[in-house]
Amino acid sequence: MLDLRKLRLLRELAHRGTIAAVAAALSYTPSAVSQQLSALEREAGRPLLIRTGRRVRLTAAGTVLVEHTEVILADLERALAALAASETGLTGTVRLGAFPTALRTIVLPALIELGRTEPGLEPTVTEVDPADVPDLLRGDHLDIALVHEYDNVPSTMGAGIELEPLLDEAVHLASTTVPGVPAEAVIGSHANSRWIVGNSGTLCHTMAVRSCLNQGFDPQVAHRVDDFATVLQLVAAGAGVALVPQLGLTDVPDGVVLTALPIGRRTRIAYRAGSRSQPILTAVAAELHRAAAAFPQPGSATGRPHGSAVADGRVAHRRRPPTRRRVVWVRFLRQAERVRPWRRSGDIPWRTRPPNCCWPGFVPANGNSASACPERRPSPRN
């Protein structure tokens, strides 16, 4: 009889490539993993691994055994889900992983609603890169996760992972100038611009570089930043241009011009194969879908950030109109310009202040602070 724990180690080795990586992921020592795999070969009655230096690869028999192991583990997850469905009430811990832009816009609203409707659930959140999600799910470090892929950077989840569509969004070019070319040629028009991209190894970095290469140029990378809020601040400061997905446009600074591009990003919910029907995961996924449906879509009236203008498919962000409080304050300052100059005591330069001002530390030009404020005298300062 083949041992399920040893089969799981063989499956992890097929995905991770080295015994050391398997040991690190599952909290074993490399020697313990090697001993368990040797024992599995004896149980199977044939060699399952070919050792070449520090790396190992599967034999034909090992590959067949891994394929059956995936089916066995998925059936085991379905059995656990069926047992959980027979219970009343939702209780327990759900380990959720998500990338940063989804945490702010989708996960946080979903968790707030879950806390209100399902107080027995205890979700824990981990910020992860989508590229790490498959190993984290297969290694039982996460129960559910949000991943994404771009049109020009498809994701590779591998065996043992199930995906469920959640949200489709557009990618925008963020700059400080309104482009004078069609959306298809906008990226190419910035061949000589400085670029802000993500760190190497991330999907966002690969997407930006490939998008530029598809337009026939290698981007001049000036900054490598993963946080889109910081990226937009750099764009507003004139530090370069960047590609930003819709979920990253929650707080766009003044002066940033956004141009929708024919590049899409798709966000998906990822599960371990067979675990999707677990009641607690179903409840979490339902709230994630509600939060994603409430997120403003590009081109909709509610999808425009405050103070934006839409024309020819482009969203140009300009300064917000002044509020009533700001208008009153401006009028106050303009009125103050017509009154006598005020200054701090000492050698500090003269300042303009309104009449009858009781701000501490200020005296009128004639030095008579008592006459300036009938209500109270300013506190003396030397």
pLDDT in tens, 125-153: 999 988 889 989 998 899 999 999 999 88
Sorted by where each begins, the domain ranges of the chain are 4-85, 169-265+297-317, 325-372
Predicted local distance difference test score (pLDDT) of residue 113? 92
pLDDT at 353 over 90: no
Which residues lie across from 257 on neighbouring strands? 175, 316
With bands split at pLDDT 50, 70 and 90, how would you rate the model's confidence at 337? Answer: very low
pLDDT at 290 over 70: yes
Name which of 116-120, 220-224, 292-296, 344-348 the model is least confident about.
Answer: 344-348
| Most confidently modeled range among 48-62, 182-196, 287-301 | 182-196
> Which residues touch 159 (CB under 8 Å, ≥6 apart)?
15, 67, 70, 273
Predicted local distance difference test score (pLDDT) of residue 89? 79
Taking only the tens place, the pLDDT of each residue in 240-272 is 999 999 999 988 999 999 999 999 999 999 999
Q: Name the pairing type of β-strands 257-272 and 144-150.
A: antiparallel
**Mean pLDDT computed over 56-77:** 91
Which CATH number, 3.90.1150.10, 1.10.40.50, 1.10.10.10, 3.40.1670.10, labels domain 4-85? 1.10.10.10
pLDDT at 25 over 60: yes
Unique residue bearing structure tokens 């998906």: 268
**Mean pLDDT computed over 111-115:** 92
**Mean pLDDT computed over 46-73:** 88
With bands split at pLDDT 50, 70 and 90, how would you rate the model's confidence at 363? Answer: very low
Taking only the tens place, the pLDDT of each residue in 166-198 is 999 999 999 998 888 888 899 999 999 999 999
CATH topology of domain 169-265+297-317: D-Maltodextrin-Binding Protein; domain 2 (3.40.190)
**Mean pLDDT computed over 281-302:** 78
Predicted local distance difference test score (pLDDT) of residue 131? 86
Predicted local distance difference test score (pLDDT) of residue 297? 61
Is the model more confident about 357 or about 115? Answer: 115
Same fold, 4-85 and 169-265+297-317: no
Predicted local distance difference test score (pLDDT) of residue 220? 92
Whether the CB-CB separation of 363 and 369 falls below 8 Å is answered with yes
With bands split at pLDDT 50, 70 and 90, how would you rate the model's confidence at 380? Answer: very low
CA neighbor of 72 nearest in space, from 4, 21, 23, 166: 4
Predicted local distance difference test score (pLDDT) of residue 302? 31
Is the model more confident about 355 or about 275? Answer: 275
Q: What is the CA radius of gyration of the chain?
A: 30
Predicted local distance difference test score (pLDDT) of residue 234? 95
Predicted local distance difference test score (pLDDT) of residue 321? 43
Is the model more confident about 264 or about 305? Answer: 264
Rounded-to-integer distance, Cα 78 and Cα 354, Å = 75
Which residues lie across from 57 on neighbouring strands? 50
**Alpha-carbon distance values, 276 to 124, 148, 335 (Å):** 18, 18, 66
With bands split at pLDDT 50, 70 and 90, how would you rate the model's confidence at 344? Answer: very low
Predicted local distance difference test score (pLDDT) of residue 240? 94
Neighbours of 173 (CB within 10 A): 23
**Mean pLDDT computed over 110-127:** 92
Rounded-to-integer distance, Cα 263 and Cα 286, Å = 27
**Mean pLDDT computed over 25-43:** 89
- pTM of the complete model beyond 0.75: no
CA neighbor of 278 nearest in space, from 121, 111, 94, 84: 84
Q: Is 58 exposed, middle or buried (0-12, 13-18, 19+ CB in 10 A)?
A: middle
Whether the CB-CB separation of 250 and 104 falls below 8 Å is answered with yes
